[in-house]
Structure 1
Amino acid sequence: MTGKMIPVSIRIPEKDAAFLAQLDVDGATTLSEKVRALIGEARRRREAGGFASEAVRNLEDIHLAQDRQRRVQEQSLSFHSELVSYLSHWLLETHIACLTQEDWGGDPDEVRGALEQYEASLADQIFVLMDQMLRMGLTTTSRCYNPHVVSGRMEALKELIAIYNKD
């Protein structure tokens, strides 16, 4: 840490102190180090000008933790769902696509172009999901917790596809 250190005394609830003691923050071990690390993290977020990279990191942490917990449960039961695995990955990628458009340009033409590019990126994400769901629905069973979870929902889509194909 660079710069002069200034002592600060704070009082926090016992519950927060216990949480802080258990928190893993950038290799900090003492409560003082952890508080400094949290303040530094908040400062970096503020100074970054944009929040996208920090938000993406947080999203990845959340998704990875959730996926890890799910996989442990699946392994303990010898149970797996391609739908859940794929959707979890897709949600993260789509959420990142929503967050990472920071430079909208300055003049109206740049903004319009950036908005069109943003829309196209999100449309790509939606069609990737649609493609995967249709592929899973081609067979009467899929590698999911419930083997009929996808095929049982395909009838409505088949009707829409038939209407589309009439034109």
Structure 2
Amino acid sequence: MAKQTVTLRLDQDDLAYLSQVEITGAANLSEKIRALIAEARTQRQGSRDYLSAHDFARQLIARVERQINAAEIDATVRSELIHRILAWLPEALAYALSAGQVMARANDQTAGLRALEHGLAERTFSLVEAVLQLAQAGFPGCLDPQALASRGRFEVQSDS
């Protein structure tokens, strides 16, 4: 696609931010602006369907995950709980972001909300199961297993 020249006026704070922000693959102001526009486009498209939402959610989490991984390497520690939650977040966020698609497939609004509730519950229960596995084993691979174990003392009773 042919590129067009655009004149842009920025206040000093925005220009300072744009100059200092690090964006992978963007070395100058023009490349940074194009990257920010591409990111905004991805964000808007990410709520239209589950796959796009999942890609968007993974991008959001990837930044945090890289920072956590770097900090863990520097400190020579690792938290299994943090990594399980970070692995769970993109799917749950993607499902919530694409809720309109889930609800549109239903016959009526109540059925759509019911489908959304079931989908969110399924994703939430998968996280609960992952945390319960850690709790039952005494939170191995976690940074403060005693504190987690004392907070994690709970039990769900079921009639079935």
Pick one of 94, 107, 110 that aligns with 1:109. Answer: 107
Match of 2:83 among 73, 82, 85: 85
Instruction: Decide which of 145, 148, 157 is 1:147's aligned counterpart.
Output: 145
How many Å separate the matches in 2 of 1:75 and 1:25?
A: 23
Structure 1 residues 132 and 17: CA distance shift in structure 2, 3 A: same
User: How do residues 13-92 of structure 1 correspond to structure 2 at under 5 angstroms?
Assistant: 13=12, 15-23=13-21, 29-35=27-33, 38=36, 57-92=55-90
Q: Identify the match of residue 94 of structure 2 among 93, 96, 113.
A: 96
Q: What's the TM-score once normalised by structure 2's chain length?
A: 0.72
Code of the residue aligned with 2:71 in structure 1: it is Q
**Which runs of no fewer than 5 residues in structure 1 stay unpaired?**
none
TM-score of the two chains, using structure 1 as the length reference: 0.69
Displacement of 1:6: 5.8
Letter in 1 for 2:80: E
Distance 1:56 1:80, change over 3 A: same
Q: Which runs of 5+ in 2 are unaligned?
A: none
Aligned 8 A contact 1:133 1:150 in 2: no
Where relative contact order (Cα < 8 A, 6+ residues apart) is larger, the structure is 2
Question: How far did 1:7 drift?
Answer: 4.7
CA contact (8 A) 1:45 1:51 kept: no
User: In percent, how many aligned pairs have the same letter?
Assistant: 26
Is residue 129 of structure 1 aligned with residue 146 of structure 2? no
| SS state at 2:84 partner | helix
Q: CA RMSD in A?
A: 3.4
Q: What displacement does 1:63 show?
A: 1.3
2:82 counterpart letter in structure 1: V
Query: 2:42 touches 2:56 (CA, 8 Å); kept in 1?
Result: no
